[in-house]
Structure 1
Amino acid sequence: MQYRGKSIEIIGKRQMFDKTFCWIHILENDVFKQVMIDEIEDYHSNLDALSYARYVSIAARIQGEIAQKRLLAPYESSLTPLPHQILVLEKVMQGLQTRYLLADEVGMGKTIEAGLVLKEKKLRGEVKRVLLIVPKSAMLQWQSELREHFCENFHIYDSSFINSMAKTFASFDAEDELNFWKQHNQIIVSSDALKPLTVRDGWSQKRVDEYNKYRLEAVLEAEFDMVIIDEAHKMGGATAQVSRYVMADALCNSVPNVLLLSATPHRGKSDHFRRVLQLIDPDTFTGDGMPSIAEIQPYVMRSEKRFALDYDGKKLFQQRETQRLNVLTEKWEFAKQHQLYEDVTEYVKKSFENALDMNSYAKGLVMVMFQKLASSSTAAVLSAMRNRYKRLQEGEDPDELEEYGEQDSLRYSDFEEEGLMAAEMDVVYNAGIAFNEIDELGKLIRKAEEVMRIEKDAKMVALLDKIYQLRSDPSEENLKVLVFTEFRGTQEYLIESLKDAGLDCVGINGSMSLTARKNALQRFKDDVPVMVATDAAGESLNMQFCHIVINYDLPWNPMALEQRIGRIDRIGQSHKVVAINMLTDNSVDSRIYNTIMSKLDTIMDELGIDKTSDVLDSTIEMKHLNQLYLQSLLDPRQFEKDSKKWLNEIKDKLRNYRSTEHALPSISEKEITKTAASEVKYSPLPIWLEDLMDLHCINVKGFYDKMLNGLTLYHLPDGNLGAIFDSKWEEDNPAAIHITLQHPIIQHIIRDIDGGIGREIPVIQSLSGEERPGYLTLWKVTGKNDNETKVCYSAQYISDNGRVFAPYGQTLWDMLVKRKAQFKGIGFMASDPTITENAQLQKNLYSVFLKIESEIQSGIAAKLDKKRHVMDVAEIRIRRIGIENIRQGKLKKLQEQRDLFENNLSHAYNVVPDVKHILTVRING
């Protein structure tokens, strides 16, 4: 039933002075109102009898299915969770409280697991306000994945936003302090933006206190229900006084639900590992030494790749092969190109030594970029040299990195100023070296222009040869090749050169919006054989449909290289992954590759460590790695000595990691089964939702078009909508909306059926003539106490002679839900309230309620014990909060909750029944 377009239920009717009016309950906003009966409408006005019967039957079936599910989140995401991910969700939700460390190996989908837990707890009404703490570089990716996969919108609070809000709110003259952390219920923030300060150069203590007031202190007062910390190993710190640990400890003590995510939480150090675990439970993990498996087991879950299965029970990850493609520039046809590289390297050395002499960090960074550009492509280094030459001539600052347009690809955050300059480097260089840089650049530019004019690019020739060789394989007719470069200048050159050679290609880089990147990705998937990407662009896109990645130039961070390959070596990849590393025969790059890549791989093979593990991220400090790169350029003899020392240190760290890896309890192979994932993957819910949406479209006088790729275009009175109903079509339709149970239209439809039957009921005819004449009725039976609500949808068939058959009612309901319903619509007839007065019907419905009541009451004792335990543990945590006023405020609030809970205990076993008549259908045999 509807009133002015809103779903209602009629509470009662009354007639006075020849007028009939009703008391109604508007379901959308929970408002009660008295209206004239003429204003109430049946909501089937544009549906025929059979369509209307199916419309309500399908909506009720969806509600009934969901009411019986142990887990809801897997059905609400735009992807099908894998067996190990559903197992993690089950384990988390079965715990006494949600405080866990998810320590899956890298690539196993910890982000998806965290999203599932978050969604499940929201659907159950257990959390509302969520704070997500992630590395700054991952904020956008987290925001995008939670929105796309779980329809959860998070607001990003970066440093500039926090600074701006702090200034604004500090200026308010209000009796009650305003807290901008309460403005949104779901927030993403970086740990660096949130961590407190103790001192800062040039700042008074008052300014430091003011800074902290609007960060950690304000967050603690904002009453979040849940905190999720990504890369939680970074919170452990060297001591308990490190600001990141202070922040994490205060937050985890003040919030009931905590998820920590890290593939390498122990990092080979027992004291560090204990501090991370204390964020979950401070009492259990006091003491020294590595905690035992028995201690850790209740709090830590780790899924390993070797046990990972797909939906069909097959191993999840494919084999990987790495190839080295040597590019020889010393050949006669590339002689000028080879000499240009040597000349640019000499120019970079002089300029870098000049930067060391001047202690110019900015110029040092630019020279690092120039050296890398020279290894990448002549086109890229020529563009940069022209830019610098022009700025030097015009008297502008030539050392502003942003002016070169390459800063999004280079990871200069890994370069520390003191490490880039000579203070921590044992480098031989000529202090006070003098040279005319403008003249030098002019000569180099002319040489580079000559190379571009008369010689082919050696790397470009090798790339084309390799791509054509790969595509010549008859089994690789639709081969896709992903090419990575660090530089936009090289990217533009590659795209132009590949197109000139007859290969269509598309590019993505960090300057493009996420929508533009997705559109480019769609073209790559559908039509284009080659994509050229920069590192910044590849971070948020997955390309399992491609299994060949070519690294045109190499970042000297093994994890950056791994992240490139990780774009295609992902869950869902069906081919062996092949990574091809292109390497020119110049001394700087060769020295680095042979030391960093080859020898490091050998060490990891010796120790049996998976190269895809992010253990490297835990053992390699980029400052030292970048120092080696500079030494390879400036002082090759010192490089040989220091590289051996560095490799020995890394080997010791990796050996230490290997010896402590067993400290993490892993989910066993026998626990991971495909059953739960198969239930989700092969659930009929997507089909029912699609049918329901189609019928709704007709009912609101719209129309729809079905596409072959799973897309349905709905033309509705209030706008058009492109929708998919199964996550398997998501890659084919990146711009479409995935319709799930939480979509507003679906929620509106479901509220409609809760309003009960209208004044008319549909009449349908059996096509076979075999069905018995009578009435199919659908009922929503509810049992509710102060802590829990259980719902069951029941079908009851009433024959014309008054007999009631529940099993036959279920059969008829199933037939109406199916797409090929075995009925035809006849029309509508006036509803007959006497039908529902049947004594056997009422007895059947009472039996349904008794079952619900029994289920609720049987679990009350365990739930009450769990609630008390959670409150006791929460009090212990809150008493550890160091800020007095926040601690006292939270203790007061907890006591109020405890008092209310204890006062309501006497009513816990009182289960209140409710029965709603959802549908009556007249069946003509």
Structure 2
Amino acid sequence: MTSCRSLTMQTLKNGQTAIGTMPKMTMPEALAADTRVNHPRHGVGHVIADAGEFVVARFGATIQQVLRTELTLARSLDQALSTGTFDESSETLMRASAMAIRSVNDQWGVFSRSRVQLLPHQLWVCHKVNRTFPFRWLVADDVGLGKTIEAGLVLMPLVARAQIRRLLVLAPAKLVPQWQKRLRQMFDIRLQVYDRSVDTPAVDFWDTANMVVASVHTLRREVADGRSEGSRFLSADPWDAVVVDEAHHLHADERMGETLSFQLLRALEERQKIRSLLLFTGTPHRGKDYGFLSLLSLLDPGQFGPDHDIDEQLAKLPEVMIRNNKATVTDLKGNRLFTPVTVETREYAFSPEERAFYETLSAFIIDGRAYASTLDGRAQSARMLLLIALQKLAASSIAAIRSALTKRRAKLADVAAQARAPSPTITEGDEDETLDDRARADEEAWSKMLAELMEGEIARLDELLELAEPIAQERKIERLVDLIDRELPAGEPVLLFTEYKATQALVVDALHARFGYGCCAFINGDERLEEINKADGSRGPKSWSRDTAAEAFNQGTIRFLVSTEAAGEGIDLQERCATLVHVDMPWNPMRLHQRVGRLSRYGQTRPVQVFILRNPDTVEARIWDLLNAKLERIQRALDEAMDEREDISQLVIGMTGPSAFEKIFAAGQTQSRESLGQWFDRESATIGGEDLVDKVKTMLGNVTRFDFAQVGRNLPQVDLPDLERFFAMMMESHGRRVFRRDDGLDVLTPEKWVVEDYAMHDRYKGLLFDRNARLGNREGPTRLVGVGHTLFDRALKEGASLQSTLATCLRLSAPLLIASVEDQITGQDHSVTRIVLGAWRDQEGQTHVLRDWEVLQMLNALGRADNPKPPSVNGEQLKALEADLLSAMSESLPAVADMMTRPGIRSEIMLLPDQDAGT
């Protein structure tokens, strides 16, 4: 570090001052309270009491008793104004910039090295959560608003400051790789994936891993089964922060009890292993207050829980629950980000052969339900579940149901003599199942359930298979191809969803046949289709990994992506595509919301268009019409009661639960067209009932949410480019010139930094302060510069350690005072320990208070006065101005430092105009 060139003002007869030499700072015999001191380990602090050999001083948020001989006097603004000491403007600007950068990032995370453009609501979530530490929040944002980014913004400043050293992310197994990949690529937070194979008694994973992402289902089974791996996990050191994705799996029911996932978190809480907790879920309320309040009890068991008064708890929701929805989020200018999704239906009709098959199948199902109703207990349940699976397959495609019927016919024929007892293997599944697991269970149920569904079932199956035999082309698939070929622009990318693999294969074959082999990829849980057409005309298996298929679709290598529910969550497909087709309609309406969420998410540049293929003559289509009409009525009722529009369908559907919808679709098969409407009204009375809508209104009326009109003016209008000037100045101060190349900035690392930090490179090439730059996954951690980059963090640390307090600058119209705000009550352990403010007075005498990001903007616009002219100033007037500006900043503390118990403000730096700093 180059030495600071300090100058002093000698008081003149008229009260003005001129530049002279800085007097030597010597330690006085007694240190007065509030004297600014420097300690080699604790940094800069302020004296509380001088006890002779020992001195009690405050350093940041902690109070230390240190040896007096370890302290040196640190320069203060008060001293500079009293003695007329001027510092070099370069160093003063660097110190001021470092203070402002830290203040902004600690509160908002805006300088984190996320490789996506940050949105106001994401910055606001970071700001809200990080106002206290430890934190406890439930974030219930809508699908597609960037929960991984929100988590990274919250965690990154705390990780960078080492407030979070041990981090645990718990997610469903299929989302574990995504969390690891995104936090590494976007924030350079490197998580180890927990796997049972790497955790042994000899090599205890939990004893060595500090930053971990793990499957909540894997861990909960290990703990529940009493395995040694689970014991090691529960006995590991406490976690500074735990993040839980899909937190609705942490469920408790009054009758059924707690899920294993809930028990896992409760076990960690009881052992005091969780310091901060961040829960993410789009459906926090699953229809029962007991489960919702139990989830909240994980955040604060003292205030929340099923045994507490519910009205009192709802009033406290703003303290623990955040929800943002697509209807209200904006960009930094206040423009709404999302346009409503357009949904259109495209109808088709059965061919005569398809109609005959459908009517015969309906009669088969009705007779099967009648037969099952004569049985008791498990015998009845097993048959009903199988018939429901049959209905769902038939609603997808004839190809799906034909495959299942063929397998069942063969199985019954082989074991007819033994097929008189229901198999116990047919179940409704459990919370571990993925949606593809459930679909596979529907397809395979026929080989597990050997008991006949009715008398003479084999003959009835033969009849159905005979009717299905001549159906080579399904009208639904023909209508799908016609929709793409005739109604969509040529080359338009299309995302298509089916529920079953047999239907998926049918669609893949049809698209290849019409638009050319190689135009289409697929995603399913098995990453494989057994029988599809190939380019040479043969049939056989084809494999596509989930990530490979998604990347090919996003990059434009393929035009079509056909997915089962395996892509319904945890995958982004909006880069090129804005068109989605529901080839079939699942019986759980929540899945439609999740499917659309793959395209209707941030980064989508076009309105999303959704098409539904619909045969109005089927019972499923008529039930969907009735259900949609009911949801629209509920939406209109809520719109009238809410200030901001909220998509009610997702919450109402989530609170109703999938089983209620499945029962309606299954039982509706037995209703005539004439009686269906009245029957639906009776059966769906509990869906979106008045009490449920009231719960939604009450919950949404109490949660904390982003409101641009209220917080927009306070959002930091800065980004990574605003760091570049500070970085260049710091490098220059160490004799390192920054060279600008076509691909970015090149700089040699200061030799001392390389010696002291083994992770530091000797030279950095192609550095960029642009989060939108196209960078490979391996380039991002070294080339994208922001808080968290090794080189920049060292520069920030050095800049903050400078002691310059008073200097002159070019392009400054009036004196600028920079102050710091800290909590006067220690031991609060805030995540934000210091806030920076600025203030100046214009020629009309009006005082302007600046937030930290506004201070940084002003500093970046100032010029360095490395050879200043002797300033013509009045020292006493400057002190009076300082007091006035400090008083104005103090008045803003309730708004800017409300997370602090007793905020106190202190002058740090004053910058004066170079030519004439007179006041």
TM category, shorter = 0.5 to 0.7
Aligned to 2:613: 582
Please state whether the residue corresponding to 1:359 is helix, strand or coil: helix
Shift of 1:556: 0.9
Q: Against the structure 1 CA distance between its residues 487 and 320, is the aligned structure 2 distance closer, same or farther, given a 3 Å change threshold?
A: same
Counterpart of 1:187?
Answer: 212
- The answer to which of 597-606 and 620-629 deviates more is 597-606
Equivalent position of 2:523 in the other structure = 509
Cα pair 1:268 1:656 within 8 Å, conserved: no
1:652-731 pair list within 5 angstroms: 652=689, 654-661=692-699, 662-673=701-712, 676=715, 679-680=718-719, 727-728=771-772
Q: Distance in 2 between matches of 1:696 and 1:69?
A: 24
Question: Are 1:648 and 2:685 matched, yes or no?
Answer: yes
> Is 2:105 the counterpart of 1:80?
no
User: Contact (CA 8 Å) 1:220, 1:251: kept in 2 or not?
Assistant: no
Which protein has the bigger helix share? 1
**Deviation readout 1:107-136 (Å, 9 max, x if unpaired):** 433332122212222111111222223345
1:867–1:462: structure 2 CA closer, same or farther, 3 Å change rule?
closer
How many angstroms apart in 1 are the aligned matches of 2:434 and 2:168? 28
Tell me which residue corresponds to 1:318.
339
Give 3-state SS (helix, strand or coil) of 1:70's partner: helix
Q: Which residue of 1 aligns with 2:127?
A: 90
Deviation at 1:328, TM superposition (A): 1.3
CA contact (8 A) 2:130 2:832 kept: no
Matches within 5 A, 1:280-295: 280-285=299-304, 287-291=308-312, 295=316
Give the whole-Å Cα distance in 1 for the aligned partners of 2:463 and 2:487: 39
SS in 2 for 1:131: strand
Q: Residues 698 and 96 of structure 1: is their aligned pair in 2 closer, same or farther, counting only changes over 3 Å?
A: closer
> SS of 1:564's equivalent?
helix
Alignment match of 1:532 (pick from 550, 557, 562): 562
Listed as ranges, the matches of 1:102-117 within 5 Å are: 102-117=139-154
Deviation of the 1:451 alpha carbon: 1.8
Which of 468, 471, 478 aligns to 1:461? It is 478
Match of 2:243 in 1: 228
8 Å Cα contact 2:497-2:582 kept in structure 1: yes
Q: Distance in 1 between matches of 2:664 and 2:626?
A: 10
Q: Could you say which residue in structure 2 is the equivalent of 1:560?
A: 591
What letter matches 2:120 in structure 1?
Answer: P
Q: CA deviation at 1:60?
A: 14
1:128 is aligned to 2:177: no
Shift of 1:552: 1.0
Of the three residues 493, 501, 507, the one matched with 1:494 is: 507
SS at match of 2:502: helix
Q: Give the percent of matched residue pairs that are identical in Structure 1 and Structure 2.
A: 23
Deviation at 1:232, TM superposition (A): 4.0
SS in 1 for 2:238: coil
Classify the secondary structure of the residue corresponding to 1:546: coil
Change (3 A) 1:445 1:297: closer
Q: How far has the Cα of 1:318 moved from its partner?
A: 0.8
Helix, strand or coil for the counterpart of 1:648?
coil
Mapping 1:610-621, distance limit 5 Å: 610-611=646-647, 614-621=650-657
CA distance in 2, matches of 1:745, 1:574: 27
CA contact (8 A) 1:76 1:742 kept: no
Please tell me whether the aligned partners of residues 235 and 245 of structure 1 are also in contact (alpha carbons under 8 angstroms): yes
Distance in 2, matches of 1:262 and 1:129, equals: 23
Q: How many angstroms apart in 1 are the aligned matches of 2:475 and 2:400?
A: 14
Alignment partner of 1:261 out of 248, 260, 280: 280
- One-letter amino acid of the structure 2 residue matched with residue 211 of structure 1: G
In structure 2, the CA distance between the partners of 1:289 and 1:142, relative to structure 1 (3 Å rule), is same
Equivalents in 2 of 1:152, 1:345: separation in Å?
55
- Give the secondary-structure state (helix, strand or coil) at the position aligned to 1:81: coil
The change in CA–CA distance for 1:220 and 1:304 in structure 2 (over 3 A counts) is farther
Q: Equivalences for 1:33-72 in 2 at 5 Å? A: 70-71=105-106
**2:133–2:831 CA contact under 8 A, matched in 1:** no
SS in 1 for 2:470: helix
Tell me the equivalent position of 2:572: 542
Give the match for residue 329 of structure 2.
Answer: 308
Distance in 2, matches of 1:155 and 1:122, equals 15
| Distance in 2 between residues matched to 1:869 and 1:152, nearest whole Å | 20
Compute the displacement of 1:690 (Å).
11
**Equivalent position amino acid for 2:666 in 1:** L
1:480 is displaced (CA, Å) by 2.7
In 2, the alpha carbon distance for the partners of 1:328 and 1:723 equals 60
Change (3 A) 1:643 1:131: farther
Distance 2:704 2:110 in 1: 25
Q: What's the CA shift string for 1:255-301, capped at 9, x where partnerless?
A: 22121234454567666555444433344558523237774444443
Could you tell me which of 391, 394, 397 is aligned with 1:371? 391
Query: Which whole-Å deviations, capped at 9, do the CAs of 1:11-36 have from their partners, x for residues lacking one?
Result: xxxxxxxxxxxxxxxxxxxxxxxxxx
Task: Return the letter of the residue paired with 1:566.
Answer: G
Cα offset, 1:458, TM superposition: 1.2
- 1-structure distance, mates of 2:783, 2:300: 34
Once residues 493 and 594 of structure 1 are traced to their aligned partners in structure 2, the CA distance between those partners, rounded to angstroms, is 26
- CA drift at 1:365: 5.5
Q: 1: distance between equivalents of 2:104 and 2:741?
A: 20
Please report the TM-score for the alignment, with normalisation by the length of structure 2: 0.60
Separation of aligned partners in 2, 1:640 and 1:446: 34
Match in the other structure for 2:625: 594
User: CA offset at residue 860 of structure 1?
Assistant: 7.7
In structure 1, what is the Cα distance between the partners aligned to 2:595 and 2:460?
Answer: 36
Measure, in 1, the Cα distance between the counterparts of 2:827 and 2:648: 45
With over 3 angstroms needed to count, the CA separation of the structure-2 counterparts of 1:479 and 1:313, relative to structure 1, is farther
The 1:335/1:107 distance shift into structure 2, 3 A limit, reads same
| Aligned mates of 1:90, 1:740 — CA distance in 2 | 24
Residue type of the partner of 1:224? Answer: W
Amino acid at match of 1:102: V
Q: Which residue of 2 aligns with 1:622?
A: 658
Instruction: Kindly provide the CA deviation profile for residues 430-474 of structure 1, in whole angstroms up to 9, marking residues without a partner as x.
Output: 99732252x55555445434221xxx4211222223223432xxx
Amino acid at match of 1:539: E
Q: How many residues align?
A: 663
Q: Which residue of 2 aligns with 1:750?
A: 791
Taking a change above 3 Å as real, the CA distance of residues 128 and 629 of structure 1, as seen in their structure-2 partners, is: same
1:572 matched residue in structure 2: 603
The 1-side partners of 2:386 and 2:313 are apart by 49
Change (3 A) 1:726 1:344: farther
Task: Find the aligned partners of 2:314 and 2:605 in 1 and give their Cα distance.
Answer: 35
Residue by residue over 1:695-743, the C-alpha shift from the partner in whole angstroms, topping out at 9 and shown as x without a partner, is 899999xxxxxxxxxxxxxxxx9xxx9999855466xx8x744514598
**2:138 alignment partner in structure 1:** 101
String of CA shifts for 1:578-617, please: whole Å, max 9, x gaps: 2221122443323432343443343333443844663135
The code of the aligned residue for 2:207 comes to K
Superposition deviation, residue 684 in structure 1: 6.8
Q: State the alpha-carbon separation in 1 of the partners of residues 241 and 595 from structure 2.
A: 32
Q: Are the counterparts in 1 of residues 131 and 831 from structure 2 also a CA contact under 8 Å?
A: no
One-letter identity of the residue aligned with 1:664: V
Q: CA deviation at 1:670?
A: 2.7
Q: CA RMSD in A?
A: 5.4
Q: Tell me how far apart the structure 1 counterparts of residues 97 and 116 of structure 2 sit (CA, whole Å).
A: 19
SS of the residue aligned with 1:666?
coil
Q: Is the 8 A contact 2:185 2:777 kept in 1?
A: no
- Give the whole-Å Cα distance in 1 for the aligned partners of 2:242 and 2:703: 22
Does the residue aligned with 1:291 lie in a helix, a strand or coil? helix
